Structure 1
Amino acid sequence: MKGLLIVDMQNDFCAGGALEVKESEHVIEPINKLIEKFNKNGDFIIGTLDWHPKEHKSFGENSNGEIGKIGELNGIPQIWWPVHCVENTFGAQIHKEILFFENKIYKGTSIEIDSYSGFFDNGRLKSTNLHKILCENNVDTLYVVGLATDYCVKFTVLDAIDLGYKVYVVKEGCRGVNINENDSILALENMEKMGAHVISIKDIKF
């Protein structure tokens, strides 16, 4: 079965948010088209959400780290981020223009470790329920969209490939942070190298 995986389409990553991804507004229309298509075909839809406690140590202000710079958090390299997607706040809510979908996975809930991937934390110490839910719904093929290409999309895709899913990344439905200018381009190339198919929405015929 096919599944649409929508990564972190939350207010804090969209225009005006605490960790705004440039051009994030351009992914809303293609994502909504895919939601409509998957709903019409009776395929599975699920989304991930960053859901951080306010004390999360990936936040620069909580770890005395300079925003955008790399440090170390519990032995794992960590980029220091501004406070974002704090659980039960407006910034953590899914953008109001994204069409409703029911199934959601919450990640980044442990204070001590960040979680870019929708499947595992950054140290692969714990998993979310995403793989379990996909298996329960017989999903073996994933179409992935969302924010951001160079972080949560990339690591979710790489873990999905490692877990045995066939993965398509729909490029119109993704945008990146791009701390470095070519980060998103390099992320897409890395995903392709590892086995993902980077496609255009017009290539989806089902």
Structure 2
Amino acid sequence: MKTKTALLLVDIQNDFLPPDGSLAVPEGRDILPHVYRLLADRQWDLVVASQVRGVCSCCADHPHGHVSFASTHHAEPFTSIPVPKLHAPGETVQQMLWPDHCVQGTHGCEFEAGLKGKLGQDAVVIQKARGTNVAVDAYSAFADNQYTFFTPLIKTLHGAGIETVVIVGLATDYCVRFTAIDSCKFGFRTLVVKEAVRGVDASATEKVLGELQDWGCELVSVEDVV
């Protein structure tokens, strides 16, 4: 951990937290004490918080009816449908459909209150790619799911000389998974803090953690990094 290290907080927003979040991750609040400790007990070279900032019902410059919202398709949440693959006519990809969540301007879109108070002025907020294109979802903090759009995160990390990325947040089987895999793809040593992540599907979490190790991620505890 002697190299320059960034703490990456993935989507710790009200809509992903029980009891009131529209897409609450079970036991999602259990990560908060660990996240707070990581922010308080170590001087990081960079702190980055990713934020889903989705479609807006009142602003003309944000798309309506996002492909990931079940309401767009008049379908049931947590079902999967094929949707067109961008830049590949005739091909499709499977899209999980979610309840409407993290709509810009809503309480659900905001960072959890305790986290917001601890981020500090030097923290960098990365808006994820979802708001840029109604037709493609974006789980990773680095890019959308089809790599048609990249956030400033890669440039931000390299610009700060970061070599190691420590990842916490929600949810293990979706946004944490895609973010951690991309972190490895883009050449960063990637550590996932086990106590500070939770999954939408708890039964799939262990499999996902194994997959992350296959990609080169290191599974660590809070004690390993504070």
Q: Scaled by the length of structure 2, what TM-score is found?
A: 0.85
Q: Give, in angstroms, the shift of residue 26 of structure 1.
A: 0.8
State the partner residue of 2:32.
Answer: 28
Q: Give, in angstroms, the shift of residue 42 of structure 1.
A: 4.5
SS of the equivalent of 1:58 reads coil
Given that residues 171 and 200 in structure 1 are in contact (C-alpha distance below 8 angstroms), is that contact kept between their aligned partners in structure 2? yes
State the partner residue of 2:188.
Answer: 165
Sequence identity percentage: 31
Q: Give, in angstroms, the shift of residue 27 of structure 1.
A: 0.5
Q: Give the residue type in structure 2 aligned to 1:65.
A: A
State the partner residue of 1:148.
Answer: 171
Work out which of the residue numbers 94, 97, 100 in structure 2 matches 1:80.
97
Q: Give, in angstroms, the shift of residue 37 of structure 1.
A: 2.9
Number of matched residues? 201
Q: Give, in angstroms, the shift of residue 82 of structure 1.
A: 0.3
Aligned equivalents of 1:157, 1:42: Cα separation in 2: 18
**Higher radius of gyration, 1 or 2:** 2
State the partner residue of 1:8.
Answer: 11
Gaps of 5+ in 2: 57-63, 85-91
Q: Deviations over 1:82-103 (max 9, x none)?
A: 0000112110100001122431
Work out which of the residue numbers 33, 43, 46 in structure 2 matches 1:44.
46
Q: Scaled by the length of structure 1, what TM-score is found?
A: 0.94
Q: Give the residue type in structure 2 aligned to 1:100.
A: L
Q: Give, in angstroms, the shift of residue 160 of structure 1.
A: 0.5
| Closer, same or farther: CA 42–116 of 1 in aligned 2, 3 Å | closer
Given that residues 15 and 22 in structure 2 are in contact (C-alpha distance below 8 angstroms), is that contact kept between their aligned partners in structure 1? yes
Structure 1 residue runs of 4 or more that deviate by more than 6 Å after TM superposition: none
Gaps of 5+ in 1: none
State the partner residue of 2:142.
Answer: 119
Given that residues 67 and 136 in structure 2 are in contact (C-alpha distance below 8 angstroms), is that contact kept between their aligned partners in structure 1? yes
Q: Give, in angstroms, the shift of residue 167 of structure 1.
A: 0.4
State the partner residue of 1:196.
Answer: 217
Given that residues 105 and 118 in structure 1 are in contact (C-alpha distance below 8 angstroms), is that contact kept between their aligned partners in structure 2? yes
